[in-house]
Structure 1
Amino acid sequence: MRRWIGDHPEVFQAWVILVVWVAGTAALVSFGRPLLDAFFSSLFWVVIMGCSAYFTSRRLRRTASELEARGQVLAYIRYPNSLPGSLSGIWNRGIATLAPGKVEFQPAVYDTLEPTGRPTSFTVLAATQEPQKLGRQDSKYIGEPGFRSIKLTTANADIEVAATPASLHKILDVVTAQREPKDTP
């Protein structure tokens, strides 16, 4: 069931909205509101929720396609072994540019992904964990639904990267790809 939901998130969202509409109508009727009034009140709120979900998913798809055209992905990074109070528990949002054995991370904010700060380059040595679901504490810093995380061992320290499952697989494929050997005379 979870796999089907992951493959069809829009259909699942539509079913959730329908169930909320029926449950909202039933709750309002049980509290004494007339059926027609309860029907339209819950319909109003379901339309608001549906529009919000639609525009959010549309924005995410548009952003992902723009970044993919440039060979980049939307990602969040944190440094799990750093000192408390730094970025050990807070995810930093940005754009990851991928190359074999290397990730360049440019912090960015807002829906327009405006760059903030300097980009950081990481030389990736290995991926030390498979993609895993974010916990409740972790996902409160990440506004997009369905993100997973992986841990990468870099030349300096371990980092955690959170992104969509498709983006994580792309990161793993590109970053762990064998570097082309240089010609030696």
Structure 2
Amino acid sequence: MTKGFGIHGSTTSHGGTVISTQSRSSQMGNLFLRAGDGFACPKCKTWSTLIKSNDHVIFDGKAVAYVGDKFTCGATLMPKQVHVVGTSGGASSTSSISTKTTPIMSSLVEDIAKEIHKIQFKIIDEDSQELLSDMLYELYSKESGELLVQGYTDENGMTAIYESEHQPEAIELITLDLSKTLDPL
């Protein structure tokens, strides 16, 4: 029996969203989740990480997660459909979904006109001026409040480079100190 891989943005049975902590291994642009990736569980009010279920596929020394894998809080990784590959009807089937066609040339021009920014932050302790490595961070859009990326700083206190259509000023950086437990709500 085949099982789907856990991918960036997958949800959990407890209502959380799991963001990949790596940016190298993907399929069709969808980053794989690996053992140890986690999320802030809204149900359990704790940080919860994926538990390794097998060693079938390994990336950067960590097992790739599968749909149905468990988290340390008991949540289950849920499937996420990321692309459509076919239709269920024949050539004569009809659809009630209305579609809008865009001329190819205008859609290409719009794509070219979008400016991509490479955004990276260095996180430094304000008091000691020490670089903060292995610090959990999240980048949000200031405009929509949408979570854009989540990860850990490297040994130099640097976040991963994030490529975005957002201007750097439109990004909000949040750091999470996991050395302390979360207060109950």
**What TM-score do the two structures reach when normalised by structure 1?**
0.24
Larger radius of gyration: 1
